[in-house]
Amino acid sequence: MSLEIGFVGLGAMGLPMAANLLASGHRVTVWNRTLSRAEPLSGKGAVIAPRAADTVRPGGVLVSMVADDAALAELVAGEAALAERLGQGGIHISMSTVAPATTRELAELHRRTGSTLVAAPVFGRPDAAAARRLWICVSGPAAAKATAQPILEAVGQRVFDFGEVTEAANVAKISGNFLIAAAMEAMSEAFTLAEKNGVDRSALATMLGQTLFACPVYQGYGGAIANRRHSPPGFRLPLGLKDVEIVLRSAREVNTPMPMASLLRDRFVHALAMGRADLDWSALALGAREDAGLTD
């Protein structure tokens, strides 16, 4: 089934996702703050909108994939007023990693305008987005999720439904990102221990990634951390700090201590202080080496 879709946010993740929607036969109108980012999609059949508001038609479907909570709130409730423009019957599929509280507030705004917000944040890096290999968490009203399903299937390999509370998918997403960051910290400490005892970091990472921890996070990030390969970034370090801070704010809202998240926040802040903002978020691992006196 071909749908008419508005798509805002053509960053490292949004661009290949929009391209996959076009490849699946959907009609897509795209917008990005830097309009030149949209040009590669023109030859693939996309309509390039001069303003975010021009991606939306009343009662239509909008997909957003933007950097953070502030950008999403500005598009939905600010000058672009995308919730109001969607109006009665409209559906907004929010695929960004944002705070559950932000989704909750924006979902209420959508309800007041007669439209519906579906949360659908994704797990996967830009290469996974290009290959349609994203894992997608989804939550929101059942009817809106049914409309969203063919869109999600066009950009991901599997969809996990977390029910009708709209922000539930965001809770799942930030929980997962916390676990990824915690795994990176654990690997960085273990590999530093090995290095200081004369054991090859890369050999240890390979063994663990093929045995006890044979999973994508330990295999992919394990190799990067063991070999100190943090560029080019698939997910920039400041975004890692943003996500950990979302975890901590969300934990405070429900009085849930998360001491590891506090440690991770400090790791990210240290990495930024060391001038690593343009590296991958796995560069937080460099802090463990520095703590151990390894600076080469």
pLDDT given at position 295:
86
pLDDT in tens, 244-266: 999 999 999 999 999 999 999 99
**What percentage of residues in the chain have a pLDDT greater than 70?**
100
| Average pLDDT of span 114-123 | 98
| Average pLDDT of span 169-193 | 98
pLDDT in tens, 182-205: 999 999 999 999 999 999 999 999
1 pLDDT above the threshold of 80: no
| Average pLDDT of span 91-119 | 98
| Average pLDDT of span 81-90 | 96
pLDDT given at position 47:
97
Confidence of residue 32 (pLDDT cuts 50, 70, 90): very high
State the CATH class of domain 4-164.
alpha beta
Spatial contact of 67 and 39, defined as CB atoms under 8 Å apart: no
Domain ranges in the chain are 4-164, 171-291
> What is the torsional sign of CA 173, 177, 182, 187?
positive
pLDDT in tens, 206-249: 999 999 999 999 999 999 999 999 999 999 999 999 999 999 99
Active site residues: 173
Residue with tokens 């691992």: 285
* Stronger pLDDT, 3 or 63, i.e. the higher one: 63
CATH architecture of 171-291: Orthogonal Bundle (1.10)
- In the sheet with 134-138, reading across from the earlier edge strand, the strands are 122-123, 134-138, 156-161
pTM assigned to the model: 0.95
49 pLDDT above the threshold of 80: yes
pLDDT given at position 2:
80
Confidence of residue 296 (pLDDT cuts 50, 70, 90): confident
